Structure 1
Amino acid sequence: MREISYPLSGSCQCGGVTYTLNEPPLMIVACHCRECQKLSTSAFSITAMVKPEAVVFSGEMSDWSRSSDSGNISAAKFCPTCGNRIYHYNPDDSSTLKLKPSNISDTRVINPTLHVWISEKQDWYQIPEGVKTFQKQPS
């Protein structure tokens, strides 16, 4: 398999928001919580944890947020035209962005190395052997 070359580009469905990811994600996480199931309309949501300085965004984005079970705020940026989520973040922790990588040019980067909230996982989905898991959110 060929190596993934950076930078990678990404965009929402309508192309109103674009971005460039200049380096590999810190990790790829699959979250199985009910809120992520709603977000993804699937069994889990995939997030690429990236350094804020590793990604450059262009285009207008809207905001949305909610409280999480931990008491933290889960905030999101999304395209106001097509509604695609671009990234999530914690306003109290600027060390990482939670990029939604399904809209990236080379989707081979989407290979979860960590599965969280498996206590809410759909029974029909089998997590691959050897992948690290957490019943809820790791501390």
Structure 2
Amino acid sequence: MPTRLASCSCGQLTAQVSGDPVRISICHCLACQRRTGSVFGEQARYPRENVVVSGASTMYSRAGDEGPGADFHFCPMCGSTVYYTLKALDGFVGIPVGAFADPGFPPPTVSVYEERMHKWVVPPADAEHFF
């Protein structure tokens, strides 16, 4: 079973995952754009029992465009988001793909809120597309 380590920029907060993610998605909603400072957020979802978190985090809770929202956990030292939990999916943990710093990470299979997608972004053609 593969293991990967996600980390904040300073290395204080980590999330070690085992196994493959159950979903890899990109989100084009405006809240994810603001949260990441990029034009979309990309995240990998893992069963909660496959994630081991180490280090201190600060939490920011935000309501979702649809559903009850998520709790984002970020490093209080450097500010990097390392993991989050979805209030509607208690058994899973989301990890921003960039926190793995792994250019070989598998591509997303789902693309959501594409009506807010920047015009130059081209999601994988074989991904599920939600507008």
| TM over 0.5, shorter chain | yes
Q: CA deviation at 1:121?
A: 0.6
Cα RMSD for the two superposed structures? 1.6
Gaps of 5+ in 2: none
Name the structure 1 match of 2:30: 34
Q: 5 Å matches for 1:101-120?
A: 101-104=97-100, 106-120=102-116
Q: CA deviation at 1:127?
A: 2.3
Q: 5 Å matches for 1:1-139?
A: 6-104=2-100, 106-135=102-131
52-61 vs 102-111, which deviates more?
Answer: 102-111
CA separation of 1:123/1:82 partners in 2, compared to 1, >3 Å: closer, same or farther? Answer: same
SS of 2:35's partner is: helix
What whole-Å deviation, never above 9, does each CA across 1:97-137 have from its counterpart, x for those lacking one? 111121215342241111000011111212232221001xx
What whole-Å deviation, never above 9, does each CA across 1:11-53 have from its counterpart, x for those lacking one? 1100111221111111110001111111222221001011111
C-alpha distance in 1 between matches for 2:105 and 2:68: 27
SS of 2:25's partner is: strand
Gaps of 5+ in 1: none
Q: Which has the larger radius of gyration?
A: 1
SS of 2:77's partner is: coil
Q: What TM-score do you get using the length of structure 1 for normalisation?
A: 0.86
**After TM superposition, which residue ranges in structure 1, 4 or more long, deviate above 6 angstroms?**
none
C-alpha distance in 1 between matches for 2:74 and 2:93: 13
Q: What TM-score do you get using the length of structure 2 for normalisation?
A: 0.91
Q: How many residues align?
A: 131
C-alpha distance in 2 between matches for 1:59 and 1:116: 31
Conserved? CA contact 1:14–1:82, under 8 Å: yes
